[in-house]
Structure 1
Amino acid sequence: MSNVPVNNGRRRFLTAATAVVGGAGVVGAAVPFIASWNPSARAKAAGAPVEVNVGKMQPGQLIRAEWRGKPVYIVRRSDKTLEELPKHDNRLRDPSSEEPQQPDYAANPYRSIKPEYLVALGVCTHLGCAPTHHNGDFGEFVEGVPNGFFCPCHGSTYDMAGRVFQNVPAPLNLMVPEHSFVNDNTILIGVGQGEA
């Protein structure tokens, strides 16, 4: 046996340093493992559901989201906008949405689950351009209609239910993707109502 005195301070320091380095190693190994649980960019592009918070949206406001590599427009419609929708039905190509451009639960005059929220792909049904949302100045494209969507590429026009007007290149209403409400403030795009 050696008569060298034991340095307890050094022993505690080495024990603590080893524990810290070991803990950092565990965290370093765990981060990539836990990150692998999230859907990859490829899975998201292939259709993984996307959650959108609409809790702070104001009437007339549009939020853009991306799902399957395409833009999704979410618009909170005002009561006045909802009242105006049936007033121009006679100027629409498919006012009753008879073409299958929306899920069954959105086959109503508003083309939505909740009347105040329109959820539609922001893709023109003519050649796939991106229509622009016009809130209050849409009358310059369609007389007497204050709000809607205008496709600047070829002049197609849609109302605030995503329904296409007559005498424009677009043949169909905007597509309404599968979606559902997780709660009053969250829309889940990619999962239909009743499927979540």
Structure 2
Amino acid sequence: MAEVPVNPARRRFLTGSAVAVGAVGVGFAAVPFLSSFEPSAKAQAAGAPVDVAVSQLAPGQMVTVAWRGQPIYVVHRTDKMVEMLPSLDGELLDPNSKVASQQPPFADNFYRARKKEFLVLIGVCTHLGCAPTYRPEVAPKDLGPEWKGGFFCPCHGSKFDLAGRVFKGVPAPLNLVVPEYAFVNDGLIRVGVAEIRA
């Protein structure tokens, strides 16, 4: 039986074709694998910024919205509410909000906000994660004559003032967290962004 001569050009062509087909196959197999690392549309939406209309929020009122699975409290504080904040410093665990992780740099002030009249907080108690209730009334019977308004956690009795600062002697160890947010305009707050880009 006679030997068939080897054709080097044909061998290179077949080898190159096999490598090319294999590379395309690997690419098709890799796409679903790599795309599984991307967050789903539902996950992306859950982390997306949320807008809160505050133009119709009357002084003293609070609105709650959901962002990243957490309640966000937005309170339209009255001038009187803001004015009384410094008077509570002696009763608070961290009146100057020294724990930097509790608020962005823009909220490093006694009213813990971009604008003193609007308070934006994550409505989750820093003790065990319950949702504190908004109690703006002054001196209610159940909270005592010293209460000047704020947030009360019904789970274990933690108290926070109208800037979300925690009182001494309660289970919660930290102030309520101020999330990143910015004003889109005077009547709209966007929670989840540090600034509004044009």
Q: Normalization by structure 1: what TM-score? A: 0.76
Aligned twin of 1:124: 125
% identical equivalent positions: 52
Distance change in 2, residues 1:96/1:142 (3 Å): farther
Instruction: For 2:134 and 2:185, locate their aligned partners in 1 and report how far apart those are by CA, in whole Å.
Output: 26
Q: Which amino acid aligns with 2:137?
A: G
Q: Residues 68 and 158 from structure 1, CA distance in 2 versus in 1: closer, same or farther, beyond 3 angstroms?
A: same
Which amino acid counterpart does residue 54 of structure 1 have in structure 2? V
Aligned to 1:9: none
**2:195 aligned partner, one-letter code:** Q
Q: Aligned-pair distance for 1:43?
A: 1.3
Alignment check: 8 A CA contact 1:149 1:158 kept: yes
2:86 corresponds to 1:86: yes
Distance 1:138 1:192 in 2: 36
User: Are the counterparts in 1 of residues 184 and 196 from structure 2 also a CA contact under 8 Å?
Assistant: no
> Cα distance, 1:142 vs. partner?
5.4
How far the C-alpha of 1:135 sits from its partner, in A, is 1.6
Evaluate the alpha carbon distance shift between residue 72 and residue 130 of structure 1 in structure 2; reply closer, same or farther with a 3 A threshold: same
2:98 is equivalent to residue 98 of structure 1: yes
1:131-170 map, 5 Å: 131-137=132-138, 139=140, 140-141=142-143, 143-170=145-172
> Is contact 1:105-1:193 (8 Å) kept?
no
Contact 1:122 1:130 in 2 (8 A): yes
Partner SS state of residue 65, structure 2: strand
For 1:1-196, list aligned pairs within 5 A: 40-45=41-46, 47-100=47-100, 101-137=102-138, 139=140, 140-141=142-143, 143-193=145-195
TM-score of the pair, normalised by structure 2 = 0.75
Looking at structure 2, the residues matched to 195 and 173 of structure 1 have their Cα atoms a distance apart, in angstroms, of: 29
- Give a deviation string over 1:46-71, Cα, whole Å, max 9, x none: x2100110000111100001110000
1:127-181 alpha-carbon deviations (Å, 9 max, x no partner): 0000000121455425423210000000000000000000000000000000000
Q: Are the equivalent residues in 2 in contact too, given 1:138–1:149 (CA < 8 A)?
A: no
**Residue 136 to residue 164, structure 1, CA distance change in 2 (3 Å):** same
Q: Which runs of 4+ in 1 moved over 3 A?
A: 137-140, 193-196
Distance 1:142 1:109 in 2: 24
